[in-house]
Amino acid sequence: MTVTPKPTGGVGMNPVANALSIVLLIAIIGAAWILFGGYTLVFKALIAVILGGALVGFGVHFVPVGGAPAAMGQSPGIATGVAMLAAGAGLAGLFGGAFAAHAKLGLVTSVVAGGIGGALMMAITCLFVTLIYTYGMGIPSASGKVKVDPITGDTQAEYKSQGTEGHGLPFSSFAGGVIGGFLGGLGGTLIYYALLKVYEAKLPALLSASASAVVPVAVSLAGIFAIGMFLVNAVLAAYNITGTTEGFHDPKFARFPRAIIATLAASAVCGIVAILVAAL
Amino acid sequence: MVENIVIGIGITAFAGALASVAGAAEDVESDIGSQGDPNSQVQLAPQMGYVHRIFNKAISGEPPAWGLWVALGAGLAAAFLQVNVNPILALALGCVIATLVQGVYATTAYLGRMASLAKFGQPVYIDILKSMTTVTMAHAFIAIFTSVTMCYLMNAALGHPFPLALLGLIWGIALGAAGSATGNPIYGKERQYQSQKFGAGVPVAASGTIVRYAEAGERNSLDNGWFAAKLGGPWSGICFGLIVFLELWRTVLFEPFWAGWGAIFVGLILILIFTFIDRYAEVWARETFGPYAKPEGAAK
Amino acid sequence: MTVKVEKIEGGTPHNTIMWAGLLATLVCIYLGAGLNTMFNAFTFSFFGGLAAVAAIIWGSDTIKTLCSYGIGTGVPSVGMISLGSGVIAMLIATRFSWYLAPIVLVIVAVIIGAIIGYMANDVIMMKIPVMRSSMTEVAVIGGLMLMGFAQMATSSYSLVHLVSTQTSLLGLPVAGYGGSFIGASIITVAFILGAIAVQHPFNATLGPSWQQDRMLMLAAECGFLSIIPVAFMSIAYLSVPAVIVSIVVSVAGWFYTYYQYLCLSKRDAAAWLDAKPIREPEGH
């Protein structure tokens, strides 16, 4: 029996599944409200983790990834896997955000610093992809999904070489990449910051140690959880895109509501367990 | 954070240089081993009837694989540092073990994929295994060692809160992502499909028809390696080097201003500069190369 | 153009491998923890590594079952989601005593994995028959792998033990919290070791002439290869005799499985050529 890999992913939404997911999300938030005694630090951290996960899932939809055909100049986008490229950008952003958090700069500054770090990495990567295509391979950028680039108004069809679906990084894909990197870095740093605050507050009592001594443990725990949750949400979003997308101008982008609901619920489950590690 | 801003900038520059070497070595290693998205063509070619002598190193994509090698090198180094081994020795030992793991993974990937293509008559070439593996391991060691040293500097000298192993994973994944994004098109389109016309993408109908006979004799992955080292490698190096250097530079130099917002604004300005350069290159390509067909034409 | 993956009937059924893998993993973890406690030693920590090997063998077959349907993205993403969900379950299980922790891990991982599987299959609408069960399985596998690695590196999987180091080597005290398994983030290395090791066997042997026994042997080889660095890293946490036992067990296991894998590849290959030219197939 031969089963050829089909690009799966049905179109449309499953209302029952969506409703169940929202119910699950509300149930977990409600349980957390009761468990953690109202609007406390721990509860706020859970909300932050849920939001961060959804931001990651949403941001992955912006990143232009062409997969294997892009490596041959057959389709536009970056020639890497979408989940791992988003992870690379998000983690580079997390690096910068963690630096800012360590310098005690507060939630907003750390999170935005993380976002800018992710956006910067994607900007440099996308720039070099364009430079390679232009100066190294002599191929202009062309999109295969739209007739006219939505941001610059450049026509695309005549710059597409024969037999291909487009190549390179049209400007909208570049912009999409930067936005995706920003949202990924933002979400990842938000998860990290929230968990860090919970662990810094709860671990000293748990381990009978001073607050300053457990900082390395809190940082490391929050870091590995942030990476783990980032990857789960990025892979779920990658399943939604079925592997390749040109960015926000791709018709596949309209699928993002499903991913938002899925990542919200998945982040809620993972988040409450992550918080319970210290708060149990 | 760093007390002395001059030392901070010096370490930043050093880290950027290490990152550049790492990026270049990463790209050449992944082209000698044929990893990542271009490898799908190496996999496809025998199924289209084109038996080849290319090393088919199918170890996941580049970002997770490089996340593993660098995190492994960093984690081992951290463990050795814990038992008070000299730092340089600890870093080198950790990276040697990580490289050995990489080499073993490479051989199992080649054997597995080639044996599973037996139905199409693709043999397993043992001499390819024997000659390519050590070369790819050598490049991997360069990339792993420079990356782990860079992470060590970030942790020990610049005071980043993340432990060495976590930094290793983060920068390993970023290295794989940046290196594969920049280097894969050159390897995939220019080298594997050298017979296709320059200046256009590969048509879908030509998939699988990779070049198998080289300038002299039959092509193997070393031929792909030196080609990648001409352009793909250095540009991947500059890409990753810029990523690391600018990320550190804007933080070390500008974070003290406006409670951290100085670094954010500098980051924004840098993003805008790169956006302008990208737009310039895109417009230059459109104007210099011209369209493939008339704008109203239906030549697709 | 993608690679055609043929679902070959025959070979050991997946359910058999699943139950055998789960049983073997749990037995090894309990053996390691129980023997260490009974003899108040570190030398039986290598059982944690063997547990991880069993989990990797099980996991490779799960990934093969899932990816045979064509998930649209690559195989490595399943490895990432496995460890991503597994690490959360493993860390909550560390809060419990040594005889309860593996059971708690399995229960929590089943819940997390089932929810993620439901999200992937029904909300994201992948609509793959085995998606929900596979996601549940890989979450359990990821968690058990990490528990095995933690046990092999530090001889225990309780949170208090994983975040602090009490050993001193050669009379020099080792760092309190910063140098521990979690403090020094060795757990990160275990995370990515597991993520690559569990998806590599199927990824490396996929193709039209895929054979299950070759894939499972490669899974065992990947498992032993992964526990060699863990044995080296345990030098920071265990006594020297325990480290030597771990290294010997992992290297010996790796040698045997790698040799077997070479033999199986030779058996399956179209030809095993040394320095011969390209052999064009008929009609080309």
Candidates B83, B108, B132, B147, partner chain C, best to mutate (most C CBs within 10 A): B108
Residue B84 belongs to what domain range?
Answer: 5-254
Work out the percent of chain A whose per-residue pLDDT is above 90: 49
pLDDT band (50, 70, 90) for residue C1: very low
Instruction: Say if CB C151 and CB C48 are below 8 A apart.
Output: yes
* C214/B98 touch (CB, cutoff 8 Å), yes or no: no
Give the closest of B64, B126, B163 to C195, CB-based: B64
- Residue B136 in any domain: the answer is yes
A67: left (phi over 0), alpha (psi -120 to 50) or beta: left
Q: Is there a single domain that holds both residue B154 and residue B282?
A: no
Neighbours of chain C (3+ CB pairs under 8 A): A, B
* pLDDT one-digit tens code per residue, C66-97: 988 877 667 888 999 999 999 999 999 999 98
N- to C-terminal Cα separation, chain A:
50
In chain B, what residues touch A169 (CB-CB under 8 Å)? Answer: 278, 282
Q: Is there a single domain that holds both residue B188 and residue B156?
A: yes
Q: What is the pTM of this model?
A: 0.93
pLDDT band (50, 70, 90) for residue C168: low
In chain C, what residues touch B166 (CB-CB under 8 Å)? Answer: 185, 188
pLDDT band (50, 70, 90) for residue C284: low
* A164/B268 touch (CB, cutoff 8 Å), yes or no: no
Residue B300 has a pLDDT of 39
* B75/C210 touch (CB, cutoff 8 Å), yes or no: no
N- to C-terminal Cα separation, chain C:
21
Q: How far apart are CA A203 and CA A280, in angstroms?
A: 11
Rounding to the nearest 10 degrees, give the CA dihedral for residues A228, A231, A237, A238: -150
- Helix pair angle (C131-154, C101-118), 10° resolution: 150
- Helix pair angle (B232-254, B164-185), 10° resolution: 140
**Mean pLDDT to the nearest integer, A143-160:** 86
In chain C, what residues touch B40 (CB-CB under 8 Å)? Answer: 1-3
Q: How far apart are CA C274 and CA B25, in angstroms?
A: 28
Interface of C with B in 119-158 (CB under 8 A): none
In chain B, what residues touch A125 (CB-CB under 8 Å)? Answer: 177-178, 181-182, 239, 243
Report ipTM for this prediction: 0.93
Instruction: Say if CB C211 and CB C264 are below 8 A apart.
Output: yes
Residue C182 has a pLDDT of 87
**Mean pLDDT to the nearest integer, C204-219:** 91
Contacts A–B by Cβ distance under 8 A:
305
Question: Where are chain C's structural domains?
Answer: 14-164+172-268
Q: Is there a single domain that holds both residue B14 and residue B117?
A: yes
Q: Is there a single domain that holds both residue B192 and residue B280?
A: no
Q: Is C24 exposed, middle or buried (0-12, 13-18, 19+ CB in 10 A)?
A: middle
What are the residue ranges in chain B where pLDDT is below 70?
1-3, 294-300
Rounding to the nearest 10 degrees, give the CA dihedral for residues A119, A124, A129, A134: 130
Q: How far apart are CA A274 and CA C227, in angstroms?
A: 26
Token digits for C71?
């998930």
pLDDT above 90 (res C181):
no
- Residue B200 in any domain: the answer is yes
Q: Is there a single domain that holds both residue B240 and residue B275?
A: no
Give the closest of C233, C235, C270 to B122, CB-based: C270
Token digits for B269?
């300005």
| C272-273 and C172-173 beta bridge pairing | unpaired
Q: How far apart are CA C102 and CA C147, in angstroms?
A: 8
Q: Is there a single domain that holds both residue B249 and residue B263?
A: no
Min Cα–Cα distance to chain B from C26, Å: 26
* pLDDT one-digit tens code per residue, A56-88: 999 999 999 988 888 888 889 998 888 889 999
Min Cα–Cα distance to chain C from B25, Å: 21
Q: How far apart are CA C124 and CA A58, in angstroms?
A: 13
Q: Is there a single domain that holds both residue B118 and residue B233?
A: yes
3-state secondary structure of C157: coil
- Residue B61 in any domain: the answer is yes
pLDDT above 50 (res A2):
no
| C272-273 and C168-169 beta bridge pairing | unpaired
* pLDDT one-digit tens code per residue, A5-17: 444 455 677 888 8
pLDDT above 50 (res A93):
yes
- For residue B218, list its beta bridge partners: B213
Q: Which residue of B has its CA nearest to C181?
A: B79
Q: Is there a single domain that holds both residue B195 and residue B279?
A: no
In the numeric block, the tokens 């996340």 are attached to B67
Instruction: Say if CB B55 and CB B32 are below 8 A apart.
Output: yes
pLDDT above 90 (res A38):
no
Exposure string for B43-52, b = 16+ CB within 10 A, e = fewer:
bbbbbeebbb
DSSP 8-class letter at A194: H
Q: Is there a single domain that holds both residue B148 and residue B266?
A: no
Instruction: Say if CB A113 and CB A206 are below 8 A apart.
Output: no
**Mean pLDDT to the nearest integer, C36-53:** 90
pLDDT above 80 (res A3):
no
In the numeric block, the tokens 């706020």 are attached to A44
Give the closest of B60, B108, B166 to C261, CB-based: B108
Instruction: Say if CB C69 and CB C129 are below 8 A apart.
Output: yes
Q: How far apart are CA A224 and CA B298, in angstroms?
A: 52
